[in-house]
Amino acid sequence: MTKHVIVIGAGIVGVSSAIWLKRFGHDVTIIDRDGPGQGTSFGNAGLLAACAMVPVTTPGLIAKAPKMLLDPDSPLFLRWSYLPKIAPWLVRYLKHANDPDTRRISSNLADITADTVDQHFALTEGLKAREYLCKSDYVFAYSTCNEFNEDRYTWQLRRDHGFEPTVIEGPAVQEFDPSFGPKITCLAIVKDHGFVTDPGGYVAALAREFEEMGGRVIAATVKDIETRSPGRPSVVTSAGPMDADAVVLASGAWSKQLMSKLGVSVPLESERGYHIVMKNASGAPRVPSMISSGKFVATPMARGLRCAGIVELGGLEAGPSDAPFAMLRRKISEAFPNLEFDSEETWMGHRPATTDSLPLIGQVRETGVYTAFGHQHVGLTAGPKTGRIVASLISDQPTNQNLTAYSPHRFGV
C-alpha cells in the first residue's frame, strides 16, 4: 500500500531513507531547514568506516578523561561553561565505560557498520551519485608499534568482527605511503573500506536523484509533530501543517526536542566535531588514515585533504572553539611534514550522541513516527543501512535484523 511519508532531515540518513521509501513505492517528502547535505553530513571524514564498531566509552576512559581534558594535544575538549548542563548526560555516558557494555555496544554497532561499502553501493545502484564513492584500505598510523600494541583492546574487538590488520613498521611505512613523516613508524592497514570524495556533494546529488524519482524536498523548519489519531502523524512546519501516513525523524542532534513533543525523553547531546580542508594539497596520504596521536582521519577528497575528528562537548548553541583547530594543525604537521596546500577551510558541526553510543531506529509507540538518528561517529557509515531498515519497517517488510538494541523507548519516557 502506497503511503505518504515525510522525512524530517536531509542528511545521509534522511536522504537514504527517502530513496529506499521511493523504491518501495511510497509518496515521499523530505523537509529540511538548510537543504540536503548541509548539516552534519557535510562535515566529516568521508570514511565508510566498516570497522568503526568500538565506542568512545571503552574501559579506562573514566581514569583517562580528566588528564585528556587538560592536555592541549588531546582530541577531547570541553567548554567548561557547558559542564553544569551536560553533567547528567555525562554521568550516564561514562557508566558504559566497562568491558561488558563495550562488547555489547560494539556488537550492535557492527551490525550497522560492517557492510557499509555494500550498503552505499546498493543505495547508489543505477544512480549518478555513485561516482562519489571509492573503495579503499583504511590505515591506522602510530608513532610506534608500542602504541599499536597498547591499542590491543580495540583491535581485538575489530578482529572479533572480522577485521584483521596488516601491520608494517620502519622504512616500510614510507614505502607504503611517502606522505608519512618520520614520526609515523607503524601502520595497521585494514582492507574492505571506502570513502566519499565530497560528502556534502554526495548527499546533495542523492537528493537531486530522489527528486528525479518523483520525491519532493521542501525547505522549512519543523516546529512540532502531532499525533492526533493513531498512526496518522502531522508535521507542523514554518510552511504550514502537513499530514502523513508515516514520519521519519532523521534530524540528528536536533531530534531531541521533537522527541520530547512525542512524550519521549532521549539523553542526546551534540558531540561537536571539527575538520580542516587543505585545498589543492600535495604530500597528502593516498587513502584515509587515522592519525592515532590526534584521533583524526586524514582523507584525500576532491577539494583537497580533509582532516576530521575531535570530540568537544559544548552543546548546539556555541560557536567553534579555537583550541581544536590548533591541535589539528599541530598533529597534521607532525604526521605529514611535506604537506603543501593553497588555503584552508574550517568547519564545526554536531554529531548526535546518545549515552549508550547507539542510534534510535524504530517506531515511537504506534504513532507512525519512526526514529533514525543518534549515530554519533558513524552517521555516514551507517546511514544507507539505517534508511533501508526504516523503509522496510514502514513498508511492513522484514528487516532480517533484531532492532531491540536501537529501540527509541530503551531510555524510558
The per-residue pLDDT for range 242-256, each reduced to its tens digit, is: 999 999 999 999 999
Our CA angle for 294, 295, 299, nearest 5°, is: 100
| Backbone angle region of 182, left / alpha / beta, with phi > 0 → left and psi within -120 to 50 → alpha | alpha
pLDDT value for 229? 78
pLDDT of residue 231: 79
**DSSP assignment letter at 282:** B
Q: Which residue has the cell 498512526?
A: 231
Report CA 370 to chain centroid distance, whole Å: 19
3 state SS of 74: coil
For every one of its 413 residues, what pLDDT tens digit does the chain have, with 9 covering 90 and above?
899 999 999 999 999 999 999 999 999 999 999 999 998 899 999 999 999 999 999 999 999 999 999 898 899 999 999 999 999 999 999 999 999 999 999 999 999 999 999 999 999 999 999 999 999 999 999 999 999 999 999 999 999 999 999 999 999 999 999 999 999 999 999 999 999 999 999 999 999 999 999 999 999 999 999 987 777 999 999 999 999 999 999 999 999 999 999 999 999 999 999 999 999 999 999 999 999 999 999 999 999 999 999 999 999 999 999 999 999 999 999 999 999 999 999 999 999 999 999 999 999 999 999 999 999 999 999 999 999 999 999 999 999 999 999 999 999 86
Q: What global pTM score does this model have?
A: 0.96
pLDDT for res 316 = 95
The pLDDT value recorded for residue 230 is 77
pLDDT on residue 413: 64
User: What is the torsion angle, in degrees rounded to the nearest 10, for the CA atoms of residue 395, residue 401, residue 405 and residue 406?
Assistant: -30
pLDDT in tens, 125-174: 999 999 999 999 999 999 999 999 999 999 999 999 999 999 999 999 99
The whole-angstrom distance between residue 329's C-alpha and the CA centroid of its chain comes to 22
Strand (E) or helix (H) holding 122: helix 116-123
Residue entry with cell 575489530: 158
- The β-bridge relationship of strands 246-249 and 369-373 is parallel
The helix (H) or strand (E) run that includes residue 30 is: strand 27-32
Q: How many residues does the chain have?
A: 413
Measured between alpha carbons, how far is residue 136 from residues 99, 121, 229, 383 in Å?
A: 31, 14, 49, 19
DSSP string, 332-371: HHHH-TT-B-SEEEEEEEEEEEETTS--EEEE-TTSSEEE
**212: helix, strand or coil:** helix
pLDDT tens per residue, range 31-67:
999 999 998 899 999 999 999 999 999 999 999 999 9
DSSP letter for each residue of 287-345: S-EEETTTTEEEEEETTEEEEEEEEEE-TTTS---HHHHHHHHHHHHHH-TT-B-SEEE
Q: At a CB cut-off of 8 Å and minimum separation 6, what does 187 contact?
A: 139, 140, 141, 142, 167, 168, 169, 173, 176, 177, 180
Q: How far is CA 370 from CA 6, 284, 394, 407, in A?
A: 10, 41, 8, 10
Return the pLDDT at 412: 83
Answer for the pair 41, 57: CB distance below 8 angstroms, yes or no: no
CB distance 387 to 20 below 8 Å: yes
Instruction: State the pLDDT at residue 324.
Output: 96
Q: Which residues pair with 235 in a beta bridge?
A: 225, 242
DSSP notation for 130-192: GGGEEEEEEEEEESSHHHHHHTHHHHHHHHHTT-PPEEEETHHHHHH-TTS-TT--EEEEEEE
**Cα 151 to Cα 405: distance, rounded to the nearest angstrom:** 27
Compute the distance between CA of residue 140 and CA of residue 381 in angstroms, rounded to an integer: 17
For the record, the C-alpha cell of 46 comes out as: 568521508
